[in-house]
Amino acid sequence: MAFESLTDKLQDVFKDLRSKGRLTEADVKVALKEVKMALLEADVNFKVVKQFVKSVEERAIGQDVMNGLNPGQMVIKIVNEEMTSLMGSETQELQFQPGKATTVIMMCGLQGAGKTTTTAKLAGKFKLKGKKPLLVACDIYRPAAIEQLQINGEKQQVEVFSMGTSHSPVDIAKAAMEHAEKNGNNVVILDTAGRLHIDEGMMEELQKIKQAVTVHQTLLVVDAMTGQDAVNVAKEFDEKVGIDGVILSKMDGDTRGGAALSIKAVTGKPILYVGMGEKLSDLEQFYPDRMASRILGMGDVLTLIEKASANLDIDAGKEKEMAARMKKGKFDFEDYLESMKQMRNMGGLSGILSMMPGMGSKMGDIESMIDEKQLARMEAIVLSMTPQERRNPKLLNPSRKHRIARGAGVDISVVNRFIKQFEQSQKMMKQFPGMLGGKGARKGKF
Ligand code: GDP
């Protein structure tokens, strides 16, 4: 889970601070020393940590804070604000060319950083904004990379331009520009080749592409899990090629957070997006304030609400029907499958919980309590039913239940128990319709 270990440590420090009614200078210093250790262990750049702690200390030891009503809370607030400013304060939006002009984006990064995946993720985001993107396969060294871009492009239903491996990346980029002009693509995303390590050849190639076509945005993809290495890579690319922004991939697996906290401070370049998983929908805009809240274990309710409303928008009709059926106690197994799908779209149960305030440090416990296998077993049972049985559970007589148990590969007792529980919840829904958000509970959009 993102930032888990850093969040845990910071929450311990904050618990101590909160428990004290009054704070002395020495208390603050001790707490900040622990914050410093936690940040260093999270692989945040040393200079950045030093500056950060200094800024927090200067503000925290001020008269107003120490004599205030709730000094512990004030110190935490300062840490939150300073962390937000460390990551760039304002959210940076990717800049498109005005009007109908085509925006050219060059993606770069080391091999395996997540460049090709991110290129396709971005294309999906741009499509939602009404753009017509063209993905361009400029990695001529790995035929597999071209194929991967084509597969992902198809999934996102965006066009992929490729000339195989026998032309230079510069020629491919130029030809792609002509193609985009003819076909009305208003965003061109160049997926360039990465190497295992920084090397001169790679940098030169990127410089040549930039000389041959007008690149409006050079975006670097770095792997968040590599911590300070990611920061060094960003520095190097910025010096050699010049970058406009960074996309941090694999944040979902980064328990430490060092790269997220250092990149802006070290390179001066903003983080625009973060990759939160392997699925092509797992790309989130980067909000420094929300990220600081997540790191400090205060949750990220705003992102959760956005995900939920995006999800409800897609299935608004279905959701309304489902709520109406629930109130009448007619929630059936088709509805059950639909709710499972919606939950998965929002990142699964653990994904949703991780964004709730205070969940950071408890995620480990909760994850072990949620038995994902159990959920999969229930789904297998429902999938083994016929559509008629799902819509009308009353049809489920013993012989049908035996067939379902065989289909799902579980014992008949499991099927019986599941169906019984399902019937009980149905009854409850009917008895307590208020629980489902009675009159006006969800007016408009949250
Ligand atoms: P490239 O060599 O830079 O083009 O990297 P790829 O796009 O091929 O990605 C390398 C691996 O990282 C693939 O297995 C991707 O599925 C995975 N990956 C990319 N982005 C993310 C992310 O945000 N989270 C996770 N968990 N995996 C990712």
- For residue 311, the model assigns a pLDDT of 58
- For residue 2, the model assigns a pLDDT of 64
**Tens of pLDDT along 58-81?**
998 876 777 776 788 888 889 989
Ligand 1 center from residue 376 Cα (angstroms): 25
Question: Cα(44)–Cα(40) distance, rounded to whole angstroms?
Answer: 5
Ligand 1 center from residue 300 Cα (angstroms): 24
Q: Residue 158, SS3?
A: coil
* Residue whose CA lies nearest to ligand 1 atom number 16: 278
278 lines ligand 1 (CB under 6 A): yes
Question: Cα(360)–Cα(14) distance, rounded to whole angstroms?
Answer: 13
Question: Cα(392)–Cα(331) distance, rounded to whole angstroms?
Answer: 10
Domain ranges of the chain: 4-86, 103-298, 303-436
Question: What fold characterizes domain 303-436?
Answer: 434 Repressor (Amino-terminal Domain) (1.10.260)
The CATH code that applies to domain 103-298 is: 3.40.50.300
Nearest atom in ligand 1 to 276's CA: 23
261 lines ligand 1 (CB under 6 A): no
Question: Cα(218)–Cα(221) distance, rounded to whole angstroms?
Answer: 10
Residue of 136, 156, 278 to test ligand 1 pocket, by largest number of atoms within 8 Å of CB: 278
Confidence of residue 225 (pLDDT cuts 50, 70, 90): very high
CB 261 within 8 A of CB 244: no
Average pLDDT over residues 232-247: 96
Q: Rounded to two decimals, what is the model's pTM?
A: 0.74
CB 31 within 8 A of CB 305: no
- For residue 439, the model assigns a pLDDT of 38
DSSP letter at 371 equals: -
Ligand 1 center from residue 165 Cα (angstroms): 22
- Burial, 431: exposed, middle or buried (Cβ in 10 Å; 0-12, 13-18, 19+)? exposed
7 lines ligand 1 (CB under 6 A): no
Nearest atom in ligand 1 to 148's CA: 8
Ligand 1 center from residue 286 Cα (angstroms): 18
113 lines ligand 1 (CB under 6 A): yes
Identify the CATH homologous superfamily for domain 4-86.
SRP54, nucleotide-binding domain (1.20.120.140)
- For residue 434, the model assigns a pLDDT of 46
Query: Can you give 262-314 as a three-state secondary structure string?
Result: HHHHHHCCCEEEEECCCCCCCEEECCHHHHHHHHCCCCCHHHHHHHHHHHHHH
Please give the ipTM for the structure prediction.
0.99
- Burial, 63: exposed, middle or buried (Cβ in 10 Å; 0-12, 13-18, 19+)? exposed
Residue of 111, 141, 247, 249 to test ligand 1 pocket, by largest number of atoms within 8 Å of CB: 249
283 lines ligand 1 (CB under 6 A): no
What is the overall mean pLDDT for the chain? Answer: 85
119 lines ligand 1 (CB under 6 A): no
- For residue 389, the model assigns a pLDDT of 92
Average pLDDT over residues 339-345: 73
192 lines ligand 1 (CB under 6 A): no
Lowest mean per-residue pLDDT among 15-24, 35-44, 249-258:
15-24
Ligand 1 center from residue 441 Cα (angstroms): 40
Q: Where are the alpha helices (DSSP H) in 61-140?
A: 63-66, 71-86, 115-128
User: In 282-397, which ranges are E strands?
Assistant: 283-285
Question: Cα(438)–Cα(367) distance, rounded to whole angstroms?
Answer: 31
- For residue 258, the model assigns a pLDDT of 92
**Tens of pLDDT along 392-441?**
888 999 999 999 999 999 999 999 988 888 887 777 666 655 444 433 33
Residue 161: strand pairing partners: 136
Name 207's Cβ contacts closer than 8 Å, sequence gap at least 6. Answer: 240, 241
347 lines ligand 1 (CB under 6 A): no
